[in-house]
C-alpha cells in the first residue's frame, strides 16, 4: 500500500498555502495527513484560518509552541521524526519559509522520504532574516522544488540545483485568495472597525528587523504619525509586535497615531476583505506583497529587500525600507497619484494547486 502524503503547516502564513492543495488531494481521494506543528497556536493565529479556509482540524498536532529558533526547529524535528517512522509517508509537502518548514524537510532528508517544497527558490539574499536561512536549507535538501515565479528557477539554477528538481507551478497562495475573495464580501470587518471602503490603509508589522529593534520601530511609528494625518490606518497587531511595543514602552505612542485603528490579528476572510478595500498597504510581510499585487492594491514594503521581486517588477509593490522620510514620501505619492497598478504575474492564476496535485500523483505512483 502507498503511504499517506503528509501536508505540513506550522505558522499563520502556511495555512493559505496548504488549504488549496489539501482540497485538491481530497477531491482526488489521495490518502493524506494534515499535520500542524503548533508553531502558531493562538486561535486567532491558527484555528480561525482552518475555519475560514474550510480545512478540517489537523489529523496530527505536534503542539510545539514558541521558543528560540534552535529550540523550535529541534522540537519539530524530534516530534516529526516519530510521525514519519509511525506513518511511513510516501511523500511530505512543506510550504514557505518558517521554522517548521526547514525542520520537517530535514527530517525527510534523513528518513529518505521524498519531500516537495512549495514556494521554493525565493531569495532575499539577506541572511539577517531567519527565513532566508530556512529557504536555503530547505531548497538544498528537498527533492522537488516547486517555484512560484521565474526568479525562483533562476536562483536555484545559480545555486547549482539540477533542472529535474525544479518545477514552476505558480503561486498557490493566490489560489486561496481567488477561491475566497467572493466569500470575504460577507465579512463585517469594515462595519466592526468603522472604516469606509477605499478610504484607509492597512498596516502589518512583525519582522524582527522592524519590531525587535527599537530604533527601527520608532522610525516606522514616526512615519505613521504623518501618514495618519492623511488617511485612516488599520493595524491588526501581531503578538510579537504587541509584546515588543510593550517592552519598549511604545504602546501608548502607537495608540496615539492619528486615525489609527488597532485591532487583534484578523482572520483570513476579514483580512482579505480589508486588503481588497484598502487604498494602500504598508507591510513587512512576504505574503501581503503577493496578495496586494494580485488584488491590484499599491503596497509599500517596509524592508530593505524582498524575496519576491516579481511583485516589484510586475506588480504593485515598492520597497521602501524603514527610513521615516522615505516611507512618508512613498505613502504620500500613493495617496496623491493612486500608486502603481501593475499586473498579475504568470501562473498566479488560481490553478496552482491543480498543478501541484498532478505532480504529487506522479511522484507517489
Ligand atoms: C513566524 C515566521 C515568519 C512568519 C510569521 C507570521 C519563522 C522563523 N518565522 O514569525 O516567517 O512571517 O510567523 O506570523 O518561522 N506568539 C503568540 N501566539 C502564537 C504564536 C506566536 O503569542 O500563536 C508570540 C510568541 O510570543 C512568540 C512570538 O509571537 O514568541 C513570535 O512567534 P514565532 O513563531 O517565533 O515567530 P513569528 O514572529 O510569528
Grid coordinates representing 197? 471602503
φ, ψ for residue 185, nearest 5 deg: -70, -15
Residue 155: predicted pLDDT: 98
Ligand 1 pocket residue status of 239, Cβ below 6 Å: yes
Helix, strand, coil shares, percent, the chain, to 5? 50, 15, 35
- Is the CB of residue 265 less than 8 Å from the CB of residue 49? no
Q: Which atom of ligand 1 is nearest to the CA of 41?
A: 23
Which one, of 205, 190, 173, 206, lies nearest residue 292 by Cα?
Answer: 173
φ, ψ for residue 141, nearest 5 deg: -120, -15
Give the model confidence (pLDDT) of 315-342 as tens digits: 999 999 999 999 999 999 999 999 999 9
Give the model confidence (pLDDT) of 41-88 as tens digits: 999 999 999 999 999 999 999 999 999 999 999 999 999 999 999 999
Q: Which atom of ligand 1 is nearest to the CA of 130?
A: 8
Ligand 1 pocket residue status of 71, Cβ below 6 Å: no
Cα separation, 288 vs 327, in Å, equals: 17
Residue 1: predicted pLDDT: 80
Compute CA distances 351 → 12, 18, 54, 297, 316, whole Å: 22, 13, 18, 22, 21
Ligand 1 pocket residue status of 329, Cβ below 6 Å: no
Give the model confidence (pLDDT) of 250-282 as tens digits: 999 999 999 999 999 999 999 999 999 999 999
What is the DSSP annotation of 51-87? HHTTPPPPSEE----S--HHHHHHHHHHHHHHHHHHH
Residue 129: predicted pLDDT: 96
What is the DSSP annotation of 149-208? SHHHHHHHHHTT--GGGEEE---HHHHHHHHHTTGGGG--HHHHHT--TTSEEEEE---H
Confidence grade of residue 355 (pLDDT, cut at 50, 70, 90) = very high
Cα separation, 345 vs 350, in Å, equals: 12
- Is the CB of residue 289 less than 8 Å from the CB of residue 301? yes
Give the model confidence (pLDDT) of 285-309 as tens digits: 999 999 999 999 999 999 999 999 9
- Ligand 1 center from residue 40 Cα (angstroms): 6
Give the model confidence (pLDDT) of 204-251 as tens digits: 999 999 999 999 999 999 999 999 999 999 999 999 999 999 999 999
Residue 266: predicted pLDDT: 98
Grid coordinates representing 59? 489529523
Q: Which residues pair with 201 in a beta bridge?
A: 233, 280
Nearest C-alpha to atom 15 of ligand 1 is from which residue? 98
Residue 107: predicted pLDDT: 98
Grid coordinates representing 110? 534523513
Q: Give the other-Cβ count within 10 Å of 158's Cβ.
A: 10
What is the DSSP annotation of 202-262? EEE---HHHHTSHHHHHHHHHHHHHHTTTSEEEEEPPHHHHHHHHHTT-HHHHHTSTTEEE
Q: Which atom of ligand 1 is nearest to the CA of 72?
A: 35
Catalytic residues: 206
Ligand 1 pocket residue status of 98, Cβ below 6 Å: yes
Residue 364: predicted pLDDT: 96
- Is the CB of residue 97 less than 8 Å from the CB of residue 286? yes
Amino acid at each position: 500500500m502507498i503511504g499517506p502524503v503528509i501536508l505540513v503547516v506550522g505558522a499563520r502564513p502556511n495555512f493559505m498555502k496548504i488549504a488549496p492543495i489539501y482540497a485538491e488531494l481530497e477531491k482526488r481521494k489521495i490518502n493524506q495527513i494534515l499535520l500542524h506543528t503548533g508553531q502558531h497556536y493562538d486561535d486567532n493565529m491558527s484555528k480561525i484560518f482552518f475555519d475560514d479556509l474550510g480545512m478540517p482540524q489537523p489529523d496530527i498536532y505536534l503542539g510545539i509552541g514558541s521558543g528560540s529558533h534552535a529550540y523550535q526547529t529541534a522540537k519539530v524535528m524530534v516530534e516529526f521524526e516519530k510521525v514519519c517512522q509511525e506513518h511511513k509517508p510516501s511523500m511530505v509537502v512543506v510550504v514557505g519559509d518558517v521554522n517548521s518548514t526547514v525542520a520537517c524537510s530535514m527530517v525527510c532528508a534523513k528518513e529518505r522520504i521524498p519531500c516537495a517544497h512549495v514556494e521554493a527558490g525565493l531569495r532575499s539574499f539577506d541572511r539577517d532574516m531567519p527565513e532566508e536561512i530556512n529557504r536555503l536549507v530547505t531548497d538544498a535538501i528537498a527533492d522537488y522544488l516547486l517555484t512560484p515565479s521565474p526568479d525562483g528557477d533562476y536562483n536555484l539554477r545559480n545555486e547549482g540545483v539540477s533542472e529535474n528538481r525544479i518545477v514552476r507551478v505558480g503561486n498557490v497562495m493566490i489560489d486561496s485568495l481567488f477561491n475566497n475573495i467572493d466569500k470575504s464580501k460577507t465579512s463585517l470587518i469594515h462595519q466592526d472597525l468603522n472604516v469606509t471602503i477605499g478610504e484607509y490603509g492597512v498596516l502589518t508589522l512583525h519582522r524582527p528587523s522592524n519590531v525587535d529593534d527599537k530604533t527601527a520601530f520608532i522610525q516606522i511609528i514616526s512615519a505613521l504619525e504623518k501618514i495618519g494625518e492623511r488617511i485612516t490606518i488599520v493595524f491588526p497587531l501581531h503578538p510579537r509586535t504587541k509584546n515588543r511595543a510593550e517592552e519598549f514602552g511604545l504602546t501608548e505612542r502607537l495608540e496615539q497615531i492619528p486615525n489609527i485603528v488597532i485591532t487583534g490579528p484578523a482572520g483570513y476572510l476579514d483580512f482579505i476583505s480589508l486588503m481588497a478595500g484598502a487604498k494602500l498597504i504598508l507591510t513587512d510581510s512576504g505574503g501581503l506583497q503577493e496578495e496586494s499585487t494580485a488584488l491590484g492594491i499599491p503596497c509599500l514594503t517596509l524592508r530593505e529587500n524582498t524575496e519576491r521581486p516579481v511583485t516589484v517588477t510586475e506588480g504593485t509593490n515598492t520597497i521602501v525600507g524603514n527610513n521615516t522620510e522615505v516611507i512618508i514620501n512613498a505613502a504620500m505619492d500613493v495617496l496623491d497619484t493612486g500608486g502603481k497598478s501593475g499586473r498579475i504575474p504568470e501562473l498566479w492564476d488560481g490553478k496552482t494547486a491543480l498543478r501541484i496535485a498532478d505532480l504529487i500523483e506522479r511522484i507517489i505512483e
